[in-house]
Amino acid sequence: MLFTFCQWLYDSDIGTAIRESIWIFPIIETIHVLSLALLVGTVALVDLRLLGLILKRQPVTNVTRQILPLTWCGFAVCIGSGLLLFWAEAAKMYANPAFRVKLVMLLLVGLNPLVFHTTIYRRVAAWNEDVITPFRARFAAFLSLTLWAGIVVAGRAIAYFH
Amino acid sequence: MSLLPVFQWLAHSALGVLMQESKWAFAIVEMVHLLALALLGGAVLIVDLGLLGLGLRRQPIGHIARELTPLFASSLVVMAVSGVVLLSEEALKCYYSPAFRAKMALLLLAVLFSITLHRSVIRSSITTQVNWKRRAAAVISLLLWLGVGLAGRAIGFL
C-alpha cells in the first residue's frame, strides 16, 4: 500500500524530472545539506545553552525566543527540499534502511520539544538565568543533540545504501 | 611551485593508505565533517544574522560573538582535521578538482576575513544598532561561508 504510493510518486512526471535532470537533483540536495546549518546548527546552539556550555551569560528565554524562529526557517527549507528529494527517489527510499531509521528519529525528535515545552519549560522563569539548568531541561537538550546527530548521520547514510 | 608533491605524499601516507583500504572509514569521517558543519554553520549564522538584525538582536552581537568563539574555533578545527583525513583518501582526485580548488580558495578568504575585518567589526559592535558596516561584514561573511559549503558539496558531483 505504502509502497504503491512510493512507486506512484517515483513514476510521476515531477519525480522523474527531478531524478533524471543533471542539475536539479544536486541543487536540491545541496540546499538540503546546507540548510542543515540553519536547522541543526540553531537547535544545537539552544541545546548547548540548556546544557550550560555556551551563551552562559544570556538568559535561556532570550536565546530560545530569538533563535527558534531561525530554526523554523531552517525546518521549512529542510522539509521542502527533503520532500522534493523523496519525490524523486520514493520507490528506492521505501526499502532503504537508513531512510527508515531517519524517519523514526525525526518522529522522536518532534516528540521531544513537545514534552519539553509542556513540562519543564513552563516553569522556565524559575531557572531562566541559571547557567546549569534543571536536570530535565538538560536531559531534553541531550536527547535533542543525540537525535539530531543521528538524523544527520542516517541522512548521509541513505546514499551508502543505494 | 606546485603543491602536487604534497598531495602525492598525502595519498601515499599511512593515513591515506588506511583510508583507501577501509570500507567504512570515509563514510564515518564524512559524517563527523557534516556534524561539525552544523555547529560551525550555526555559530556563523547566529553572529552574521545578528549583525543584520535577525535572530539574536536584543543584545550587542559583540558579546554574543565572544561567547560563541570557542564553539566556532573548535568546530572549525574538527572540520579541518576531518577534512584532511577525507582528503587523504582521494588527494589526487581533489588536486585536479576545480570544486576542491575553489573550496580551498574560498576557505582561505573566509578564515582571513573572519579573523581580520569581520572580527574588528564584531568587536566594535557593542550596541544593537544595525549599520552599513555591520551589514556589509555579515553579507560578505555569509557569502564566503556559503561558497565554501557549495564548493565542498560540488566536489562529490564534479
B27-43 residue pLDDT tens: 999 999 999 999 999 99
Side chain identity at residue A85, one-letter code: L
In this complex, do A149 and B35 lie within 8 Å of one another by their Cβ atoms?
A: yes
C-alpha cell belonging to residue B121: 567589526
- Using a CB-CB distance cutoff of 8 angstroms, which residues of chain A are in contact with residue B39? 41, 44
Burial of B158 (C-beta count, 10 Å sphere; 0-12/13-18/19+): exposed
Q: Which of A26, A45, A153 sits opposite B42 (nearest CB)?
A: A45
- What's the predicted TM-score (pTM) here? 0.91
In this complex, do A55 and B64 lie within 8 Å of one another by their Cβ atoms?
A: yes
With CA atoms as reference, report the closest residue to A154 among B46, B14, B31, B112: B31
Q: Using beta carbons and an 8 Å cutoff, which residues of A are at the interface with B?
A: 26, 29-30, 33-34, 36-38, 40-42, 44-45, 48, 54-58, 62-63, 66-67, 69-70, 148-149, 152-153, 156-157, 160
Cα angle A132, A137, A143 (rounded to 5 degrees) comes to: 115
User: Tell me, what DSSP letter sits at residue A54?
Assistant: S
Task: Answer yes or no: is pLDDT of B17 > 90.
Answer: yes
Q: At what angle do helices A13-20 and A60-95 cross, to 10 degrees?
A: 100
Average pLDDT of the residues in A103-122: 88
Q: Which of B27, B39, B57 sits opposite A41 (nearest CB)?
A: B39
- For the ranges A55-64, A144-153, B54-63, the one whose mean pLDDT is highest: A144-153
- To 10 degrees, the CA torsion angle through A2, A8, A14, A18? 70
In chain B, positions 58-87, which contact chain A (CB-CB < 8 Å)? 58-59, 63-64, 67-68, 70-71
With CA atoms as reference, report the closest residue to B106 among B96, B98, B94: B98
Work out the pLDDT band at A161, boundaries 50, 70, 90: confident
Task: Answer yes or no: is pLDDT of B158 > 80.
Answer: no
User: Tell me, what DSSP letter sits at residue A21?
Assistant: -
Q: Which of B31, B39, B43 sits opposite A156 (nearest CB)?
A: B31
CA distance A57 to B131: 25
